[in-house]
Amino acid sequence: MTTTYVLLNIAIILALVGLLIYMQRKHVSFSKRVFTGLGLGILLGTFLQIAYGPGSEVVSQTSEWYNILGRGYVRLLMMIVIPLVMVSIIQSIIKLEKSSELGKMSAWIIGILVGTAMIAALVGVGSSLTFDLNAEDIEAGQAEQERGSMLEDTLSGIEDMSTPQKILEFIPSNPFEDMAGSRSTSTIAVVIFSAFVGIAVLGVRRKNPEQAEMFTKIINSIYAVVMRIVTLVLRLTPFGILGLMANTVASTDVAGILELGKFVLASYVALIAMFVIHLIFIGVSGLNPLTYVKKVLPVLGFAFTSRSSAGTIPLNIQAQKNNLGVPDGIANMSASFGATIGQNGCAGIYPAMLAVMIAPSQGINPLDPGFIIPLVIITGISSFGVAGVGGGATFAALIVLSAMDLPVALAGLLITVEPLIDMGRTALNVNDAMTSGTLTSRIMGKLDKKKFDDKEAIEKDLSTAM
Phi, psi of 134 (to 5 degrees): -145, 125
Amino acid, single-letter form, for residue 344: N
Amino acid, single-letter form, for residue 69: L
Least confident of 158-172, 242-256, 281-295: 158-172
pLDDT at 97 over 70: no
How confident is the model over 431-445, as a mean pLDDT? 95
Least confident of 66-80, 132-146, 199-213, 369-383: 132-146
How confident is the model over 43-57, as a mean pLDDT? 89
Q: Which residue has the higher pLDDT, 357 or 261?
A: 357
Alpha helices (runs of H) in 339-391, residue ranges in sequence order:
350-358, 369-385
> Can you give the pLDDT at residue 109?
93
Nearest CA among 72, 23, 31 for reference residue 465 = 31
pLDDT at 76 over 80: yes
How confident is the model over 433-452, as a mean pLDDT? 94
Residue 251: how many CB atoms within 10 A of its CB?
A: 17
pLDDT at 292 over 90: yes
> Can you give the pLDDT at residue 84?
81
Return the C-alpha torsion angle 30, 34, 36, 41, nearest 10: 160
DSSP secondary structure string for all residues of 233-278: HHTTHHHHHHHHHHHHHHT--HHHHHHTHHHHHHHHHHHHHHHHHH
Q: Distance between CA atoms of 357 and 424, rounded to whole angstroms?
A: 20
Q: Which residue has the higher pLDDT, 452 or 388?
A: 452
How confident is the model over 21-37, as a mean pLDDT? 87
> Can you give the pLDDT at residue 390?
43
CB–CB of 260/414 below 8 Å? yes
Nearest CA among 23, 42, 99 for reference residue 245 = 42
Residue 137: how many CB atoms within 10 A of its CB?
A: 12
pLDDT in tens, 397-408: 777 887 788 877
Q: Distance between CA atoms of 306 and 423, rounded to whole angstroms?
A: 7
pLDDT at 391 over 60: no
pLDDT in tens, 248-278: 888 877 766 666 788 889 999 999 999 999 9
Q: Which range among 21-35, 180-194, 448-462 has the greatest average pLDDT? A: 21-35
Amino acid, single-letter form, for residue 227: M
How many residues belong to the chain? 466
Q: Which range among 94-98, 255-259, 380-384, 411-415 has the greatest average pLDDT? A: 380-384
Return the C-alpha torsion angle 452, 458, 464, 466, nearest 10: 130
Q: Distance between CA atoms of 361 and 134, rounded to whole angstroms?
A: 8
> Can you give the pLDDT at residue 214?
93
Least confident of 100-114, 138-152, 186-200, 267-281: 138-152
- As a 3-state breakdown, the chain gives helix, strand, coil percent values, each rounded to 5, of 80, 0, 20
> What are the residues whose beta carbons fall under 8 Å from the beta carbon of 322, sequence distance 6 or more?
451, 457, 458, 461, 462, 465
Average model confidence (pLDDT) across the chain: 83
- Structural domains in the chain, CATH included, are 2-465 (1.10.3860.10)
pLDDT in tens, 368-381: 999 999 999 988 88
pLDDT at 79 over 90: no
pLDDT in tens, 240-253: 989 988 988 888 77
* Helix and strand element counts for the chain (H, E): 21, 0
pLDDT in tens, 139-157: 544 444 455 455 555 555 5
> Can you give the pLDDT at residue 211?
92
Please report which confidence band the pLDDT of residue 463 belongs to, taking 50, 70 and 90 as the band edges: very low
Q: If 0-12 CB within 10 Å is exposed, 13-18 middle and 19+ buried, where does residue 295 land?
A: buried
Alpha-carbon 374 to chain mean position: 26
How confident is the model over 156-165, as a mean pLDDT? 58
CA 154, 383, 109, 318 torsion-angle sign: positive
How confident is the model over 352-360, as a mean pLDDT? 90
pLDDT at 309 over 70: yes
Q: Return the beta strands (E) in 33-100 as ranges.
A: none
Nearest CA among 431, 105, 466 for reference residue 277 = 431
CB–CB of 302/312 below 8 Å? yes
Amino acid, single-letter form, for residue 39: G
pLDDT at 296 over 70: yes
> Can you give the pLDDT at residue 411?
62
- The pTM (predicted TM-score) of the whole model is 0.77
CB–CB of 162/55 below 8 Å? no
Please report which confidence band the pLDDT of residue 388 belongs to, taking 50, 70 and 90 as the band edges: very low
Q: Which range among 98-112, 113-127, 191-205, 414-428 has the greatest average pLDDT? A: 113-127
- What single DSSP character describes residue 174? -
